[in-house]
Structure 1
């Protein structure tokens, strides 16, 4: 019988979490009413806290239950069956947890719980904010928890439960009609592209960023709700920094995962799902700048409200885009529709209407200042920077939302055939590149005017040294590129030169700020450090994307296949096994197929592995050792880590020099997804050599072996096989055959043939078994030489052995390789940017520790609409 206890516990915990979120949100709403706060009655607040704690405990129970069904391989549950399998290591089981929609919603809910606990703890010191902020938090949790509620009443469905049984999900499957208690022996497994360590850490980081955007939104909403229009900025600003850095790191982790795992040759493909996260991050960065401007000059409060609210609404819109199924085939990694599109739209609409309604209602009450911003004031350039960021976000948003427009028009009866741009990379880049130029210039000018004297003379003095250094280094880089010292192409594109100059200016301008702040307080320079990081990222993007160089150009004049796209025939090199080919400045050769073996570092040649009925086990055909250490002896049974993955050994040798290195690009031919290729990357100081396979022979297709040729040989005889010299050394009776049980009376004979290849000598050991009066043939395939050798008969009296030999096309791969110059600058810039944000968080937290001083400041009188 199926044990449903853990699923019942999990589903009951979801219900408890949902009800507790309702209670908490209502109790916090009541606690927020002015008269109750004034009277000192804490009963509603205590009830709200208690309900939120219950909600948090219930969420932890849901997480425990869901991970238990994955970890224990409880395939009676659809979630475990559809996302995991028996042979996944524990760290990939963690990835299984959030591969599905329900698990990712649960991860989002979990982060909200932890952030809520932190806010409650902080609320005990600052009680005026706890109730309204946590009221918003609990209300959001109510909506999110409803997404995994899984309650069905007639045709009405509220949420999708991760604890649904297979027999309830697949009601039409014949197997459940025959046996309602049927449980599959194995699951379908984790998406092969997600079997990467970045997928263990990238989603939690990204969802923490999603969750953290709720905090500044909740403070802004609380400020509007309670009429406290100014002081919400102080507690919200550190959280806005935290949300921005976490979301930014999460985005770049996803970019690096794509760089390491996908084969489009980069880290960003302007996929709608990538865009959906990038858009709110840009707006949130703009919000941070307007909030800082208000803290300093009491201007930009309304802009801060708008941008903070917009960033959270865009997070909800991104959720709707990626999970409603509305993107269809427009994205390679959006979720399929689980019937939650209506719920997701309600979630988005509820908070959009609530936030916009509160903002409109209080618009005229929000304080403004009549202070005019000078062209030489830092605040002015901060606002210009926020505008540039928002325009960049809007451009991406407008195009990404084309499927939404089509769906909406279709819903109201208007047919629309609008399509996303055919070349999305070119479409977005031509706009975003200029946005990058604007951001770089503004981060330099804005910082100089922020920290220096705000007049023409002071600005001229401040800009002089960074400007001179910029021109010097930009000229030097261009000249070195022309001489071939930097990269493979001359930097002569005017747009790229503009971006390079702007980014260098941002670096030097912000470095001058840091040097001037060293004698004060280190944390004051957090903004300058972050801006340097962003400028470095722009430089890294410029070189690695703008000057990426394909080194695997097809110079043979041969078309590999008319079925291949033009780029494969043009930009790839064909490598026959063990046949060196000249490729740009390298001599490159392919040396066979390898696999990962548990307990063995690196990769093991498949020629040393004898397959068994269990695809995850093999028998060693020879000694397996790395260096001087022997890991397995001949005949030992070993475990394969991922038998579906093949690693292709590709050796590079620089033609001008003696440097050699070996890469192992990975690929698998998936029956549902086709060829899934992941690159291997050689990292140099000034570039990455990015290598992946574009085509391999289909391992699922039977090889087209030529006609069988028979040879009768005696020990010591020599013959020619497929242009190779082969020598028969003799044969022996063996007592064990890998994968075969020999009984008394069975005889196994193993031959030994030595074949002399171009680069190495091969030993083939075909086996002939006489078992139960019948002959069984176990041929040896020498893939390097395209030979299959079969021992067909033994004549002991004459000392003769009959062999059958088939020949086929030699093994090959079609390989693409490209150089990514200075891509390391992008990753270094990401780290520098993150350090700057952390410094800014530390500074804002220190400032937030003195709220009494802030309360003494009077709000500026409202004199005009901002």
Structure 2
């Protein structure tokens, strides 16, 4: 019998969490009523808190149960079978947890629980916010937990349970008809592309960003509900900063995962799922700026309501896009439809209707100021900046939503075949590039006007030095790149020059603000630091994408294969093993295939690993050493953590400097997904050399060997094999054969042959085993030379030996290499941006906890001139 206790506990906990969310939501709603007395309010709030803590405990129990079925390899459960396997390390088991829709929903629910508990236990002076804010939190949790409920009521399925058994998920499978208690021995495993350490930390960070957007939304809704139209900004602002930095860092983590795992040659491909996260982040950053404008001058309150609400609705919309299956084949990242599309739409519609209806109902009550804005006023540029961010988001949203338009029109009976742009990168870039130019200009001008007196002379004084430094530095770079070839590119594209100049201006303008604030209080400069980070990111994107240079162009004049797309035949180099090829300023050599061996810090050549029936283990055919340190002796059994991955050793040597280095691009031929190639990257100070394999001989296809050619040799004879000189050194009897047990009377004989290759000498050791009266042949395959050598027979009387040789095409790879200038500026910019946001969060929290009587003088001044 299958033990289903852990699954029953998990499913029961989901039901408890769902019911507790309903109770908490209702109790907090009752505690928020204006007519309730203080005693009743306290009782309802205490009851609501208790219900939310029960909800939190239930969620923790669900997480424990789900991870347990993954960690303990309980393949009777469909979730464990479909997302994990026996040989995954623990950190990839964690990735298995959120690979599926149910697990990712649970991750989202968990972060809401954490944030909810934090909100309930902080801000003692703002207790009046707890009930309406947590009412919204609990209401959201009600919808989210329903997504993993997995119950059927009146033929209506509500949610998809992660605790469903295999036999219940696929009841028609023949194996369960024969044995209802059948449990698979192994799972299907984690998607190979997700077996990366970034997939352990990127999804939790991203979902924390998703969850954090609920906090300002809940405050905004509470402000509308309770008529505290301006008061909600103060507690919501640090949370908005937190959501922005977390979501932004999560997005960049995903970009870096793509950069070092996927082989499209970059970090951003304008995939619909990437866009679905990018859009709400832009709107959220716009919302932060309008909230800051309100904090300073009481302007932009209505805009703040609109943008905060829009951010959260866009988060729900992105959830609908990626999980409903509506994107179909439009995205490589989207989840398949689990039958939750109707439920997801209900979730989106419920909060969109609730928020928009409440905003419309309260619209006229929201206070506005009649203060006139001028072009020398900081708030004016803040609003322009927010508008630019929203327009950039709208452009991406409008195109990304094309599959939604088609689906909706089809639903109402209208055929629509609108398609996403054929070249999505070009389509989005031509708009987003100019949005970047405007953002760069506005971050500079906006900060200067924010911190200066609002008059023409003061503005001109402030802008002069940053403008002069920008022109000086930009001119220097343009001249050096175009006239003196200092860089590997020429900065001569007018559009790129525009983005370069404006981004530099943003750096210098914000740097001047930081320098002017140092004598006051460094914490005031969080906004300027964040803006410098954004400007650096724009510079990194400009150089690494705009001037990415393919250096592996096919100069041989030959077509590799008519079956290959033009890009592979044009932009890739063919490397025969151990044959040096010129590629741009490098001499490049493909040196062989390597595997990862547990406990060894470097990859190990396949040639010295004897593979056994267990694909996760091998036997060392020679000592395995790294830097003279012995890790395994000949004959030791070694563990192969990722036997499906082959690492192709590629040696680069710079012809100009003689600098040499080795890269190991990774690839595997997956039976379901084809060639999965991941790059290896050599990082220099001013560029990255990005290398990946585009094609390899299919290891699953039987090689076409020539007919066996037999040679009769004696010790010391020299023969020619496939144009290589080979010397037969003799034979020896061996007592142990890896993977083959020898009994008394069995004999194993090993030939020793030396073959002179173009670059090195090879040793072949084919085996001939006489076991139980029969001969067994274990040939030696030399991939480099295209040789298979078989020890066929021994004539002891004549002291002659018979060797059989087959030949085939030599091993090769087809390689793509490109240089990405100054890509490190992008990653550095992300870090700087994050530091700026953290400084802003710290400052806002201090302001929220400081009373008027104890407020420092510097902070009083800051109240008059808030900075983003």
**TM norm structure 2:** 0.98
Give a deviation string over 1:56-113, Cα, whole Å, max 9, x none.
Answer: 0000000000000000000000000000000000000000000000000000000000
Aligned to 2:143: 143
Aligned to 1:500: 500
Give a deviation string over 1:806-861, Cα, whole Å, max 9, x none.
Answer: 01000000000000000000000000000000000011111111367899xxxxxx
Aligned to 1:298: 298
Aligned to 1:487: 487
Cα shift at 1:797 = 1.4
Distance 1:535 1:226 in 2: 40
1:460 aligns with 2:470: no
Aligned to 1:581: 581
Cα shift at 1:168 = 0.4
Aligned to 2:344: 344
Aligned to 2:864: none
Aligned to 1:32: 32
Aligned to 2:219: 219
Aligned to 1:714: 714
**CA contact under 8 A between 1:790 and 1:803: conserved in structure 2?**
yes
Aligned to 1:414: 414
Distance 2:674 2:643 in 1: 16
Shift of the 486–429 alpha-carbon distance from structure 1 to 2, 3 Å rule, reads: farther
Distance 1:810 1:626 in 2: 28
SS class of match (1:615): coil
Q: For residues 348-747 of structure 1, what are the structure 2 equivalents within 5 Å?
A: 348-483=348-483, 485-747=485-747
**CA contact under 8 A between 1:31 and 1:37: conserved in structure 2?**
no
Cα shift at 1:114 = 0.3
Aligned to 1:58: 58
Shift of the 390–486 alpha-carbon distance from structure 1 to 2, 3 Å rule, reads: farther
Shift of the 580–232 alpha-carbon distance from structure 1 to 2, 3 Å rule, reads: same
**CA contact under 8 A between 2:31 and 2:40: conserved in structure 1?**
no
Cα shift at 1:152 = 1.5
Distance 2:65 2:153 in 1: 24
1:755 aligns with 2:727: no
Aligned to 2:77: 77
Give a deviation string over 1:600-648, Cα, whole Å, max 9, x none.
Answer: 1110000000000000000001111111111111111110010000000
Distance 1:512 1:135 in 2: 45
**CA contact under 8 A between 2:32 and 2:41: conserved in structure 1?**
no
SS class of match (2:798): coil
**CA contact under 8 A between 1:86 and 1:186: conserved in structure 2?**
yes
Distance 2:491 2:123 in 1: 55
Distance 1:510 1:261 in 2: 35
Cα shift at 1:798 = 1.1
Distance 1:557 1:760 in 2: 28
Distance 1:596 1:116 in 2: 43
Distance 1:825 1:592 in 2: 34
Aligned to 1:863: none
Shift of the 599–484 alpha-carbon distance from structure 1 to 2, 3 Å rule, reads: farther
SS class of match (2:593): strand
Distance 1:591 1:173 in 2: 47
**CA contact under 8 A between 1:793 and 1:801: conserved in structure 2?**
yes
SS class of match (2:736): coil
Distance 2:722 2:367 in 1: 88
Distance 1:16 1:647 in 2: 48
Length, aligned pairs only:
855
Aligned to 1:189: 189
Distance 1:437 1:321 in 2: 29
SS class of match (1:265): coil
SS class of match (1:42): helix
SS class of match (1:712): strand
**CA contact under 8 A between 1:625 and 1:631: conserved in structure 2?**
yes
Cα shift at 1:261 = 0.2
SS class of match (1:126): helix
Distance 2:651 2:553 in 1: 17
**CA contact under 8 A between 1:588 and 1:650: conserved in structure 2?**
yes
Aligned to 2:267: 267
Cα shift at 1:742 = 1.1
1:782 aligns with 2:782: yes
SS class of match (1:188): coil
Cα shift at 1:672 = 0.3
SS class of match (1:653): strand
**CA contact under 8 A between 2:514 and 2:528: conserved in structure 1?**
yes
SS class of match (2:691): strand
Cα shift at 1:41 = 3.7
**CA contact under 8 A between 1:484 and 1:490: conserved in structure 2?**
no
Cα shift at 1:126 = 1.7
Aligned to 2:155: 155
Distance 1:545 1:89 in 2: 35
Cα shift at 1:772 = 1.3
SS class of match (2:283): helix
1:210 aligns with 2:210: yes
Aligned to 2:792: 792
CA-based RMSD of the aligned residues comes to 1.1
Cα shift at 1:483 = 3.3
Cα shift at 1:692 = 0.1
SS class of match (2:121): helix
**CA contact under 8 A between 1:107 and 1:204: conserved in structure 2?**
yes
Shift of the 631–468 alpha-carbon distance from structure 1 to 2, 3 Å rule, reads: same
Distance 1:124 1:505 in 2: 43
SS class of match (1:810): coil
Shift of the 290–427 alpha-carbon distance from structure 1 to 2, 3 Å rule, reads: same
Distance 1:366 1:379 in 2: 19
1:803 aligns with 2:803: yes
Cα shift at 1:121 = 0.3
**CA contact under 8 A between 1:123 and 1:130: conserved in structure 2?**
no
Distance 1:681 1:485 in 2: 24
Shift of the 486–348 alpha-carbon distance from structure 1 to 2, 3 Å rule, reads: farther
Aligned to 1:860: none
Cα shift at 1:233 = 0.1
SS class of match (1:122): coil
Cα shift at 1:35 = 2.1
Aligned to 1:101: 101
